[in-house]
Amino acid sequence: MEQLCRDVEEMCGFRAGFYNSINFNAYFSGDQSLDWHADDEPLMGNIQEDDICITSMSLGVPRVFVLRHKATGSFQKVWLNSGDILTMEGRIQKHYLHKVFPLRPLIFTKNTVAYDLM
């Protein structure tokens, strides 16, 4: 696991030993999701004062990741595929919440499947 952290640091352009942890999020079906939250656990640092870098690797089924500004409600959507690495840096945890929505299949015809992203 430590070597994987070092490999991700190198891929993201950070110095060796930069991370104290990396999140691995495995989604095995479209039903799995995470509700609105900030990564504000003490392990991550003081989100009110520190520039914090949270890095996560998405594994399994593709998902939609949404980042929403706490004050304005404006948001950005990012499609995450298996193996994608996402970093949230600076004061993102102070000013934004994030969520992973479930994917709900919608059947249009007998041969076509689409997904409701939110």
pTM for the full predicted model: 0.75
Residues 39/51, Cβ–Cβ less than 8 Å: no
Helix (H) / strand (E) element for 96: namely strand 96-100
**Structural tokens at position 16:** 């060796």
Residues 36/98, Cβ–Cβ less than 8 Å: yes
What whole-number distance in Å separates Cα of residue 110 and Cα of residue 93? 43
What pLDDT does 108 receive? Answer: 52
- pLDDT category of residue 113 using cuts at 50, 70 and 90: very low
* Tens-digit pLDDT profile for residues 4-61: 888 888 888 888 877 777 788 888 888 888 899 988 877 777 777 777 788 888 989 8
Full domain range(s) for residue 94: 2-116
* Tens-digit pLDDT profile for residues 81-108: 999 999 888 888 889 999 998 886 655 5
What whole-number distance in Å separates Cα of residue 100 and Cα of residue 22? 17
Which CATH number fits the domain that encloses residue 99? 2.60.120.590
What's the whole-number mean pLDDT along residues 64-75?
Answer: 95
- The tally of domains found in the chain comes to 1
Average per-residue pLDDT for the chain: 82
